Amino acid sequence: MATRRDTPKTDAAQMGRRKGEQPAMSAQDKSEFVPVSPFEMVIFGGTGDLARRKLIPSLYHRFLDRQFDSQSRIIAVSRSDYSRDEYITKITEAFKAFHPNEPFYEGAWSNFCELIDYVPIDVMDDKSDWDALSAKLNDTKCVRIFYLAMPPRMFAPICEGLRDAGLASKTSRVVLEKPIGTDFDSAAVINNGVGAVFDENRIYRIDHYLGKETVQNLMVLRFANILFEPLWTRDSIDNIQITAAEHIGVAGREAYYDKSGALRDMVQNHLLQLLCLTCMEAPDSLDGDAIRTEKIKVLKSLRPMSKDNVGRRTVRGQYAAGEVLGEKADGYIEELVGDKKSKLQDGDQSRTETFVAIKTEIENWRWAGVPIYLRTGKRMSDRFSEIVVQFKPVPHSVFGAGTTLNPNRLVIRLQPDESVNLWVEIKEPGAGGMRVKSWPLDLTYDEAFTTRYPDAYERLLMDVVRGRLALFMRRDEVEAAWTWVDQIQDAWAAKEQNVRPYPAGQDGPNEAQQLLELDGRTWWRRPDE
Cβ atoms 292, 300 nearer than 8 A? no
Around 432, how many Cα atoms within 13 Å sit in the side-chain half-sphere? 6
Q: Taking the complex as a whole, how short is the minimal distance between the CB of residue 261 and ligand BG6, in angstroms?
A: 10
Q: Taking the complex as a whole, how short is the minimal distance between the CB of residue 412 and ligand BG6, in angstroms?
A: 14
Rounded CA-CA distance 244/263 in Å is 12
Q: Which of 61, 208, 270, 396 is catalytic?
A: 270
Closer by beta carbon to ligand BG6, 342 or else 385: 385
Q: Taking the complex as a whole, how short is the minimal distance between the CB of residue 265 and ligand BG6, in angstroms?
A: 5
Active site residue 396: no
Closer by beta carbon to ligand BG6, 246 or else 258: 246
Residue 371: which of 354, 383, 389 has the closest Cα?
Answer: 389
Q: Taking the complex as a whole, how short is the minimal distance between the CB of residue 462 and ligand BG6, in angstroms?
A: 18
- Please name the residues in contact with 26: beta carbons below 8 A apart, sequence gap of 6 or more: none
The neighbouring-strand residues paired with 84 are none
Closer by beta carbon to ligand BG6, 116 or else 275: 275
Q: Taking the complex as a whole, how short is the minimal distance between the CB of residue 103 and ligand BG6, in angstroms?
A: 22
Q: Which residue in the shown chain puts its C-beta closest to ligand BG6?
A: 265
Cβ atoms 8, 107 nearer than 8 A? yes
Closer by beta carbon to ligand BG6, 7 or else 214: 214
- Please name the residues in contact with 362: beta carbons below 8 A apart, sequence gap of 6 or more: 279, 298, 301, 302, 303, 368, 370, 372
The footprint of ligand BG6 (CB under 6 A) covers 246, 265, 385
Rounded CA-CA distance 150/157 in Å is 11
Q: Taking the complex as a whole, how short is the minimal distance between the CB of residue 304 and ligand BG6, in angstroms?
A: 25
Q: What is the DSSP letter of 270?
A: I
Rounded CA-CA distance 323/321 in Å is 7
Closer by beta carbon to ligand BG6, 374 or else 422: 374
Rounded CA-CA distance 414/17 in Å is 21
Closer by beta carbon to ligand BG6, 211 or else 509: 211
Burial 358-381 (b: 16+ CB within 10 A, else e): bbbbbeeebbeebbbbbbbbbbbb
Count the residues in the chain: 529
The neighbouring-strand residues paired with 328 are 323
Catalytic amino acids? 270
